[in-house]
Structure 1
Amino acid sequence: MKTVMATGTFDIVHSGHGFYLNEAKKLGGEDAKLVVVIARDSTVKAKKRVPVVCEEQRLEVVKMLKPVDEAYLGHTGDMFKIVHEIKPDIIAIGPDQHFNLDELRKELKKRNIDAEVIKVTKYKEAPLDSSCKIIKRIKGMEFDEDIFKNCQH
């Protein structure tokens, strides 16, 4: 059985996330194990924006997704530490993740990590196929304040 590692922020989970995880798992064959590493809040803040959903809740939701066998929070600092711990056969890079694949492969080799790096190129297009699009849609909506009276925080 091959272990496939997929990574991401998974802030406001949408159908594109599910599609990416299904495609990642397929890379390992029929009986592949999919392990997902969720970016820490500090990493997301440094590279993207402040996440809407905290890291513990993002981890909890990702663990519930059908293709996911295991999920963990990444480490702060050295992103390769978790790769050493999981020891994946394949690292799946998402279609919207901007890694230099050759540099990533060189760094893995330098660290004696024997994992194949494969870019998932298929992408599920939908009107709300990114967390940013969802956030923008919500920001543009008008809500009756009464709707929030029964919301739990």
Structure 2
Amino acid sequence: MNIITFGTFDVFHVGHIHILERAAELGDKLIVGVSSDKLNIAKKGRAPVYCEEDRLKIISSLKCVDEVFVENSLELKAQYIKDFNADVLVMGNDWSGKFDHFSDLCQVVYFPRTPSISTTEIIEVVKRIK
């Protein structure tokens, strides 16, 4: 079974590891779409801390990840699911319900986020320390 997930994976932390490892346990192959720098700016109104190339390198170096690609558009998620022949889409539960419309293409699973950690919070803490 092919599992697919998407994320920015900026300021990589243990919460990212948890969701990727749990996603990998659902199938034989874990495919990860990493948001492009341009997409991240459009989504979040800021550039990622780590550039696209570095984030791709970080994710591709994980033993639980089998394939990585650049996600250039939120509107292409259905196409990515089809292109990679995904059986399951995994997302964090902060997105609960928002991807249910893909259930005609694959199973959609939402995993609980790791408590007390988020990239946004880490960035805010670092800003205050400066």
User: Hey, what does 1:151 align to over in structure 2?
Assistant: none
- Contact kept, 8 Å, 1:11 with 1:58, in 2: the verdict is yes
Distance 1:101 1:81, change over 3 A: closer
- Runs of 4 or more off by more than 3 Å in structure 1? none
Q: Identity of aligned pairs, percent?
A: 30
Q: 5-14 or 51-60: which moved more?
A: 51-60
The equivalent residue for 1:22 is: 21
Structure with the largest fraction of helix: 2
1:118 aligns to what? 109
Alpha-carbon distance in structure 1 between the residues aligned to 2:97 and 2:43: 12
The Cα shift of 1:98 comes to 5.3
Q: Which runs of 5+ in 1 are unaligned?
A: 143-153
1:62 to 42, 51, 59: 59
Select 1:130's aligned residue among 97, 103, 118. Answer: 118
Tell me, yes or no, if the aligned pair for 2:3 and 2:89 is still in contact at 8 Å: yes
Residue number in structure 2 paired with 1:52: 49
Deviation at 1:3, TM superposition (A): 1.0
Stretches of structure 2 that go unaligned for 5 or more consecutive residues are none
The equivalent of 1:102 in structure 2 is 100
Q: Mark the structure with the bigger radius of gyration.
A: 1
For residues 67 and 130 of structure 1, the distance between their equivalents in structure 2, rounded to whole angstroms, comes to 21
Q: Corresponding residue for 1:147?
A: none
TM-score where L is the length of structure 2 = 0.86
**8 Å CA contact 1:75, 1:82 repeated in 2:** no
- CA drift of 1:21 comes to 0.4
Quick check: 1:83 aligned with 2:71? Answer: no
Q: How far 1:14 sits from its partner (Å)?
A: 0.3
Does 1:34 pair with 2:22?
A: no
Which has the larger share of strand? 2
Structure 1: how far apart are the matches of 2:53 and 2:128?
28
TM-score under structure 1 length normalisation: 0.74
Displacement of 1:124: 2.1
Q: Which amino acid aligns with 1:90?
A: V
* RMSD over equivalenced CA pairs, Å: 1.8
Aligned to 1:9: 8
Partner Cα distance (1:45, 1:90) in 2? 27
